[in-house]
Structure 1
Amino acid sequence: MSKKTRHEPHEEHADESWLIPYADLLTLLLALFIVLYGMSSTDAKKFEDMSKAFSVALNGGSGVLDHSSIDGSTKNTPQENEIDPSSSKNISKSRSQLVRQEQIDLEKLKQRMDQYIKSNGLSAQLNTKLNQSQLTITISDQALFASGLAVVKPESQQLGIAISKMLESFPDYDIVVSGHTDNIPIDNYQFSSNWDLSSSRALNFMKILLSDGKLDPRKFVNTGFGEYHPIAPNDTEAGRAKNRRVEVSVIRKYQNETAAQTVSVAK
């Protein structure tokens, strides 16, 4: 009897297909560590070259690294976070033009008012002053009111109308009409204090400025300061006379100290 040869069962080989993605993963990790090492280097050019090469290897040319700077911050397009120098220059230029135009406007208004004062012999009762904040037209109370009263004298209403017509050429400016008194207390049947008298005088004169309906009332405000904003000492009659006044102030929209220094101020 022949001896039968016994065959050992074949061992089944394990599936080794996982080795391929594993090797790819190791390759990517190695590349990542190389990039991280490169990021710690101070050589920006080497990092840029390395990041480009790595991006090409991973996804065909574009990747997150293409948009990363050496300090890890994200680069944006100039439109997103950069100010166009020419745009900034245009803004500055535009403001400069507005300041110049405002200075021209107020100087022109002052010249017209000064000419009116000179032509009508009102130098003792009116004056103008232009500074970095406003153009102020100061009117003595004697030119407008009887003593202790707030009603504008009929013969003085023409002055308010004349000022109003000059203001019509410059409608965009805010106007403040303010009343002022000396420090001698008043207490009559109409007014119990200098506050009341100064406020009523400012209001009544403002109404004359607005009487022809060509100026925007929204641009106007009136206020009374009483005796508390003097421009001269109240210890003499001449000083008190200067303090009794109405002021029409044309307010600047732009302050320009340099231009203001070149303006001649009427005294």
Structure 2
Amino acid sequence: MSAGKAKGHGPPRRKHHDDEHDEAHADERWLVTYADMVTLLMVLFIVMFAMSTVDERKYAQLKDGLAEGFGREQSILTGASPVSNAKGVGDPGEASYEMLLAQVPESQRENVTKILDEAARLKNERAQGAARAEVDRLLKVWKRIDEALRHQGLRDDVRATIDERGLVVSLVSQHVVFEPDIAELTERGRRVVDTIAPVLADLTEPIELDGHTNQEPVKPRYYPSDWELSLARAANVLHRLEDSHGIRARRLRATGFGHTKPLVDPARHGSQRVNKRVDILVLSQQPAETRALMGQAYDELRREAGLDGLPTDPAGDGTASGPHAAAGVPTRSRGEDPS
């Protein structure tokens, strides 16, 4: 009886041993999934980092906090940050990106690089789309200004364009908006500003007034130099917008550029009468990466409208271009008296 029991108990013990062996292998399978998850998480964080910017001050605070939290010696992390050390005097963000990418297993780096390149491409496409949308919005603002000026017969006193700053409306002295050496607006100049002001009042963006003089090497009669004259011209337009049209002062600022930024080449015939001017800038509030692409977006819009290659024409020879042209608004016919 005892022998039979011994014989009967043999196989179950072997089966129990096999079950333990299988369980051990089953318990280790989670390591494969875990390793894949960790790799994907690392890729995710690299992509997120690549789409952001590095704040060195916050990085330093994080570095010090981690050092204290883990009981590390401060001397380990003193001196130049590892972000800068990675590439000497190179870009901190680029160095940190390379440091993170170096942590990815060699077999995964190609895939990670592709993911990051695709993320950068999508980010650039979003910025280009935002730039195009902002240019379209500013062109609508210009269209309102253009219609108001045409209704008053003042269209030829203004030229406009769009660049990385926003919409630039130039009050040129084609019809004596500013008399020589004088900062005060003429009667016609006041009419121009009064016509534009209601459109500006409906906006929320900051408005910059940039004063300019022509390039004649003559000292102004009533000002120490052309710097003061240009600033006084900008200030006069600013006061007109604030005092007569209620545009809040916090939205306005005036700057003088003297003779340093001519609208057209000073050697060109007739340039002197338009280079003395005030530029009214509707400053775009888009992020810097979007504003940097606005000039390109505006040029593309002009090409699509068949206006690429047309020279600007603030002197009035009939080949004017700008937002009015891009919007399909006719320009002045050749030969019309610009004075």
- Please give the TM-score of this superposition, normalised by the length of structure 2: 0.49
Where relative contact order (Cα < 8 A, 6+ residues apart) is larger, the structure is: 1
Secondary structure class of the residue paired with 1:159: helix
Whether 2:226 is the aligned partner of 1:194: answer: yes
Q: CA separation of 1:114/1:232 partners in 2, compared to 1, >3 Å: closer, same or farther?
A: same
Aligned to 1:19: none
Q: Does the 8 Å contact 1:128/1:137 carry over to 2?
A: yes
Tell me which protein shows more helix as a share of its residues: 2
Bigger-Rg structure (1/2): 1
Q: Report whether the alignment pairs 1:112 with 2:144.
A: yes
Alpha carbons 2:211, 2:256 under 8 Å: kept: yes
Distance (Å, rounded) in 1 between the aligned partners of 2:137 and 2:220:
42
The Cα of 1:156 is off from its aligned counterpart by 3.1
- 1:69 is aligned with what amino acid? A
Q: Deviations over 1:139-161 (max 9, x none)?
A: 12354333211122345323222
Secondary structure in 1 matching 2:228: helix
| Structure 2 residues not aligned, in runs of 5+ | 1-22, 49-118, 308-321, 326-330, 332-339
Q: 1:54 to 1:115 in 2, by over 3 A?
A: closer
For the pair 1:261 / 2:300, whether they are aligned, the reply is yes
Shift of 1:165: 0.7
Partners of 2:40 and 2:155 in 1: CA distance = 67
Question: Using the alignment, how far apart are the partners of 2:176 and 2:25 within structure 1?
Answer: 83
| Matches of 1:262 and 1:178, distance apart in 2 | 26
Matched, 1:53 2:53: no
TM-score, normalised with respect to structure 1: 0.60
| One-letter code aligned to 2:297 | T
* 1:157 and 2:196 are equivalent in the alignment: no
Structure 1 residue 131, shift from structure 2 partner: 4.0
Percent identity, please: 19
Separation in 1 of the partners of 2:176 and 2:218?
A: 20
| Count of aligned positions | 207
1:168 to 194, 197, 201: 201
Alpha-carbon offset, residue 50 of structure 1 = 5.9
Query: What's 2:249 paired with?
Result: 217
Shift of 1:112: 1.6
Could you say which residue in structure 1 is the equivalent of 2:319? none
Q: SS at the partner of 1:261?
A: helix
Per the alignment, residue 203 of structure 1 pairs with 235
The two structures, once aligned, show a CA RMSD in angstroms of: 4.1
- Contact kept, 8 Å, 2:178 with 2:276, in 1: the verdict is no
Following superposition, the deviation at residue 247 of structure 1 comes to 0.8
| Whole-angstrom distance in 2 between the partners of 1:112 and 1:75 | 52
Moved more, 130-139 or 219-228: 130-139
Question: In the alignment, is the contact (CA less than 8 A) between 2:183 and 2:236 conserved in 1?
Answer: yes
Which residue in the other structure is 2:335 paired with? Answer: none
CA distance 1:211–1:261, change in 2 (3 Å): farther
Question: Judging changes above 3 Å, is the alpha-carbon distance between structure 1 residues 189 and 133 closer, same or farther for their aligned structure 2 residues?
Answer: closer
Paired letter, 2:35: S
**Residues 105 and 143 of structure 1: CA distance in aligned 2, closer, same or farther (over 3 Å):** farther
Q: CA distance change for structure 1 residues 262 and 54 in 2, over 3 Å: closer, same or farther?
A: closer
Which among 35, 46, 50 is matched to residue 69 of structure 1?
Answer: 35
Q: What secondary structure does 1:238 align onto?
A: coil
Instruction: Supply the AA of the counterpart residue of 1:217.
Output: A
Partner SS for 1:124: helix
Q: CA, structure 1 residues 167+50, in 2 after alignment: closer, same or farther (shift >3 Å)? A: farther
Cα deviation digits, residues 76-109 of structure 1 (max 9, x gap): 69999986xxxx9x99998777545533321111
- The residue number in structure 2 matching 1:249 is 281
